[in-house]
Amino acid sequence: MPMMSSCDIQGIDAAWLAVDAIGQVGLFTTGGEGPIPDPAMPSTDTAESDVYSLPETCDCILLVKIKRPDDFVAFARRGFFAYDWSDIHRPQKQALGGYELQALPTRPLCYADLPPALRVLAANTKFLDATFGSSVVVLSMPAVT
């Protein structure tokens, strides 16, 4: 299957993976509008289904009140910090310009805990200036490696 480009996913609620400064993993959903760092593009092909294939390992803390938090809860129960491009639901003058934490795991997974295929995808994007959970908003394009 060919890798998607940012043009291919415009208007699609895509998911991508990243690792924070201390090795925790996060899953980011774009809401069809959020930017994706270039190194994260390979993870948009399978990130969501790969995460769903993992077993639930913990409970989660839901930080938002929305009608259907199911995906965010499911991601967090598998150990991932769940972030969303929530600006899609805000007027432009109230936009955060980043991904907002929706749910967090009570027992976060670390990069080393991931199956090999997910580890490869997550390793492509590292947020060296963020700690998931402590960072309620992760800016869309911080310094990544």
Residue 29 has a pLDDT of 92
At 104, which helix (H) or strand (E)? strand 98-105
Helical spans, DSSP H, in the chain: 47-52, 70-77, 116-123
Helix (H, G, I), strand (E, B) or coil at 100: strand
Per-residue model confidence as pLDDT tens digits over 70-104: 999 999 999 999 999 876 666 676 666 788 899 99
* Phi, psi torsion values for 116, nearest 5 degrees: -50, -45
Residue range 109-122, pLDDT digits in tens: 999 999 999 999 99
Q: What is the pLDDT of residue 87?
A: 66
pLDDT band at 14 (very low <50, low <70, confident <90, very high): confident
Other Cβ atoms within 10 Å of 81 Cβ, number: 30
The reported pLDDT for the residue numbered 11 is 58
pLDDT confidence of residue 34: 85
Distances (CA, A) of 83 to 27, 34, 116: 6, 11, 22
Query: Closest Cα to residue 126, out of 142, 107, 109, 102?
Result: 142
Res 140: pLDDT: 54
Q: Which tens digit of pLDDT belongs to each residue from 39-53?
A: 998 888 899 999 999
* Beta partners for residue 99, in sequence order: 138
The closest alpha carbon to 32, from 104, 94, 100, 84, belongs to: 84
Q: What is the DSSP letter of 109?
A: -
**For residue 58, which of 108, 2, 95, 15 has the smallest C-alpha distance?**
108
| pLDDT band with cut points at 50, 70 and 90 for residue 3 | very low
In which residue are the tokens 């491009």 written?
Answer: 85
Least confident of 5-9, 29-33, 90-94, 116-120: 5-9
Higher pLDDT, 39 or 3: 39
